[in-house]
A and B are shown apart, each in its own frame.
Chain A
Amino acid sequence: MGQTKNITIEQLGEIISPVAKNWLAYALILPALGWVLLFVIYPVFYSIQISFYNMHLLRPVYRFVGLATYHRVLSSKVTSQVLKNTLIWVGGGTFATMVIGVWMGIFLSMNYKVNRFLAAIILIPWILPDVICGGLWKWMFHSELGVINAVLMQFGILKQAIPFLGQPSTALFICMFIIVWRLVPFVALITLATIQSIPLQLFEAAEIDGASGWNKIRYITLPLLKYPITIGTVLSLVWILQNFTIVWVTTKGGPMYFSEVITTYIYKLSFIKYKVSEGAVLGLLGVGFIFIITLIYLKIFKKFWLEET
């Protein structure tokens, strides 16, 4: 016992000095770090605690139930429907966002005047609040009153209005369309920024060698786009997985549970049915997904951040 505690003054100095020398660094990072630890990291652990009880917002008494809540939530039919929807919503949404976004970025990088104008104005969906995006499209897709039905009927494409948001087969896909519409400009813009940073000589050299327009894209642009494609995919996955507002404003998860996704169902479970422990379990499942995505993201980008300085 005594041996380990016998630290000389010099040794103590060695332990303290890197901290003391960097006191300003610690002082500057501490407020932000504390804030993030308390309101970003701690809630995850608090979730775990809640998930082992049977908390209900209208019942003051609750008790430890072990994994019972997990069992109830994960074996429910609604949960499997919700997870299936979430998979379609996140997978389909990310895929569409990336394909359209990267294509649009390549299109915008072509040297036409109109593209400079487009690049300046396409970010609008991305800066508007979710509530506004959801609301505007909800109304346009409205079954009797929406402009989309009206136009389709005017041109004789439809005989009868389609209740896009009210029928099981389309509701989720309309939500997906709205979020893709919202995220595409972002992906297009980071793609564009990357292409613009490619040295022109590469293209000139390819042109001298007789490469066609498509071949230039295929062999020069696309390989260099690995970076924005990875980052765009990771961010879209997380953004769509974490999105609550668009589905909530347009369909509230309906009809029935046909457009219910994990976030809206967590809300319904926790704050409409008051079963907060069940909400916490489902939330943890979501946290797990995000954690996996985050690990992949870290693996790719840790090097970049930490090695540059």
Chain B
Amino acid sequence: MTEITRKTISVALVAIVAVIIFLVIWFPMLWAVSTSFKPKGEVYKVPPVWIPQHPTLEMYRRVWTGRSAGGVTEEGSPWGRYVTNSLIVTGTTVIFAMILATFAGYSLARFKFPGRTLIFILFIASQMFPGPMVMVPIYGIMVKLGLYNTLAGLIVIYTASVLPFTTLISVGSLRNIPHELEESAMIDGCSRMGVFFRIVLPLSKVAVITTGIFAFLMSFGEYAFAVVLITGSKRFTVPLGLARYITAFDIYWNEISATILTIAIPLIFIFFAAQKHFVKGIIAGSLKG
């Protein structure tokens, strides 16, 4: 009897804790979902309206047709442009990161060359940089290079930001490819470079994809460098557009919620689709370096 009550109590406790964890983590998103379907009258009620009584898609329509308060209206929705800019920046960064990190990762994982230790230390240390601490010199460098207020400037700095971590991720996973495969290919007369392209690359698909997802998530949401390097909404990325919306139009929260969700939901889908590799990748990348 006591055994059974104890068990019931512990199961109940676990359930309660699990519900609390779930709510704390997901409440902001769920609340945004609810708000995004509310007409203006229901948004600011006390006590709060949990489920919209007169749900409407009006907010989504406004955001994406440019009739919202935040999207200055004349030439339609600015969000299409922000998203396009973000996709150009993020897409290019992802491609650069995947190629360069895989190359560098293979070099560090398989070769023992003079300078390797130093380069390794440099990459491990560079994980901590760059960030807002160096926004002044980065601004200066971009002005000098003529990359200030260009999407190319963002691509350059985002690639630099993601390279150290993505390289370490790929070192971690390239190490797991058995040596013997490469060795036997070389005995069969394949050159070192041939081995890399014909044997290693096809086997490291997962590592390359992990690297890409990481680069995507990290550069898609980046704000600090973007706000320093981009002026003028023509080249705004999504975080810049969102931040302006959030700070300047603090009252239109049903519209802001609709915007946030339209951006966040694709991200969440990408994350769930790739979660298995992604989580393994960050654990490998961080626990092992």
Contacts and interface: CB of A to CB of B under 8 A. Distances in A.
A76 B258 CA distance: 43
Chain B binding surface, main DSSP class: helix
Contacts of A260: none
Contact of B29 (A50, A124, A286, A290): A124
B64 interface: no
Interface residues of B, number: 102
A166 to B, nearest CB: 12
A39 B32 contact: no
B228 A271 contact: yes
Given A36-B122, A36-B126, A43-B134, A305 B289 contact: yes
B120 A35 contact: no
B119 A29 contact: yes
B25 A122 contact: yes
Interface string B110-134: 1111101101111111101111111
Contact of A249 (B15, B109, B135, B247): B247
Contacts of B116: 25
Contact of B164 (A40, A129, A185, A194): A40
A131 B130 contact: no
Contacts of A29: 103-104, 107-108, 119
B134 A32 contact: no
A230 to B, nearest CB: 10
Contacts of B46: 150, 153-154
B113 A132 contact: no
Given A231-B287, A263-B132, A306 B113 contact: no
Interface in B194-220: 196, 217, 220
A18 B113 contact: yes
A124 B175 contact: no
A139 interface: yes
B10 to A, nearest CB: 9
Contact of A39 (B117, B156, B243): B156
Contacts of B101: 32
Contacts of A238: 128
Contacts of B289: 301, 304-305
Nearest to B111: A25
- Which of B131, B141, B228, B251: most chain A CB closer than 10 A? B131
Nearest to A45: B137
A146 B121 CA distance: 47
A151 B156 CA distance: 46
Interface stretch (B16-24, B53-61, B72-80, B182-190): B16-24
Contacts of B71: none
A162 B112 CA distance: 61
Interface in B131-169: 131-141, 156-157, 159-161, 163-164, 167
A283 B126 contact: no
B106 interface: yes
A263 B224 contact: yes
A142 B256 CA distance: 14
A136 interface: yes
A262 B124 CA distance: 24
8 contacts: A19-B113, A28-B196, A39-B160, A44-B137, A118-B21, A154-B46, A193-B279, A309-B175
Given A32-B103, A128-B267, 10 more contacts: A24-B196, A35-B100, A43-B141, A50-B137, A118-B21, A127-B267, A139-B253, A140-B31, A267-B227, A286-B132
Nearest 9 pairs of A and B residues by beta carbon: A129-B221, A25-B111, A39-B160, A242-B131, A32-B104, A22-B113, A286-B133, A43-B137, A46-B137
